Amino acid sequence: MNKVRVVFAGTPSFAVGCLQALLAHEQVDVVGVVSQPDRKSGRGMKLTPSAVKQAGLAANIDVITPEKLRENDEALAWLKAKHCDVLVVVAFGMILPMPWLEAPRIAPINVHASLLPRWRGAAPIERALLAGDAETGVCIMQMEEGLDTGGIYFEKRLPITAQSTGASLWYDLEKVGAEALMTSLFDIVSGELEPEPQAEQGVTYAKKITNDERLIDWRLQATYIERLVRCYAPKPGVRTRFQGKMLKVIAGEVLSSTTSDEAGFVVSNTQGLDIACGDGFVFRVTQIQPEGKKVMAVADFLRGSHIKKGDVFK
């Protein structure tokens, strides 16, 4: 059996698991990697290559990082010269134009971190957690011009528990994605697996997360605020404002008790930092990160703060 020639397109660390699984298989030849250009990051805002680019270079694979794909003859010529059987796309972050989708001999396939047609789009992991979904998963999908609208070759499910965080789901789905890809790849190549059209019902879109969404609105339901905290813990964290300063809320829980206090009011500061929410329930902050400081237990934070019952978080 000839090796399956693969060009891999991806950007963040989530995609690295799939790339490494392909590189490790003796019947796969990763002939090229496409990733997004280096971006400024970190405190020094230095240009930093993507996680996929770093992994590709470490494996001595030919890597390109085009600013755009549409009307980019040089990048398209590079792809065609690879004569790939399959173009594997994982969290690449760019829309692939039709000439790219037509280039592989067999198929362009996408590893998408949701149970399609639910959560098509940019942030499926976060949206599933924020919505309170009971499960998520990975779909191996045939790519077409629409946004995550192609037929499904294979799916693998994963429960979302009360302990799931954005970080834990990211990690688990990276592993599930690599397993699903390697389970289905050779059957796709042989033609044993055919894509099944997505259901027309249940379509939702996972729009990109904005910075404003990571600012707690205490008028919301306590259960949503708890999911919001879990979604972004420990990094980048969700924020709340108190007396002109930002605090990051790292962990907390919803109490069974209710209050008549208005949303944002401090109900108690004895066993934790208990804050009233819009539905009358109370959210207890248990871990917090003040500006310029490390994450700490709320008990330690309260000993050095002037927060008292009746104060208001904005």
Q: CATH number of the domain that 242 lies in?
A: 3.10.25.10
Domain-located, residue 160: yes
Is residue 147 one of the residues assigned to a domain? yes
Task: Count the neighbouring beta carbons within 10 Å of the beta carbon of residue 237.
Answer: 18
How far is it, in rounded angstroms, from Cα 288 to Cα 299? 10
Residues 62-76: pLDDT tens digits? Answer: 999 999 999 999 999
pLDDT at 148 over 90: yes
Q: What is the pLDDT of residues 271-312, one digit of tens each?
A: 889 999 999 999 999 999 998 899 999 999 998 888 999 999
* pLDDT at site 172: 97
In Å, what is the CA distance from 130 to each residue of 112, 122, 124, 210, 259? 18, 14, 10, 14, 24
Residues 28 and 86 in one domain: yes
Is the confidence at residue 1, as pLDDT, over 70? no
Asked if residue 260 and residue 189 are part of one domain, the reply reads: no
48, 131: one domain: yes
Domain contains 36: yes
What are 127-141's pLDDT values in tens digits? 999 999 999 999 999
Domain residue limits at 265: 211-303
CATH (domain of 199): 3.40.50.170
User: What band does 192 get if pLDDT is binned at 50, 70 and 90?
Assistant: very high
Same domain for 154 and 256, yes or no, is: no
- CA–CA separation, 30 vs 56, rounded Å? 9
The torsion region of residue 4 among left (phi > 0), alpha (psi -120 to 50) and beta comes to beta
113 has pLDDT over 80: yes
Q: Using a pLDDT cut of 90, give the percent of the chain over it.
A: 88
Same domain, 180 and 274: no
pTM metric for this prediction: 0.93
In the predicted model, is pLDDT for residue 42 greater than 90? no
For 214-265, what is each residue's pLDDT tens digit? Answer: 999 999 999 999 999 999 988 888 999 988 889 999 999 999 989 999 999 9
Q: Are residues 132 and 74 in the same domain?
A: yes
Give the sign of the dihedral formed by CA 229, CA 233, CA 239, CA 245: positive
Pair (14, 84) in one structural domain: yes
Q: What is the C-alpha separation between 153 and 146, in angstroms, rounded?
A: 17
152 and 290: one domain?
no
* Residues 170 and 90 reside in one and the same domain: yes
Q: Is the peptide bond before 97 cis (omega within 30 degrees of 0)?
A: no
Q: What is the number of domains present in the chain?
A: 2
Phi and psi at 303, nearest 5°, equal -65, -30
- The one-letter amino acid at 167: A
Q: In angstroms, rounded to a whole number, what is the distance separating the alpha carbons of residues 40 and 313?
A: 33
Place of tokens 């972050």: 93
**What's the average model confidence in pLDDT over 75-86?**
98
Query: Which residue among 174, 191, 206 closes a domain?
Result: 206
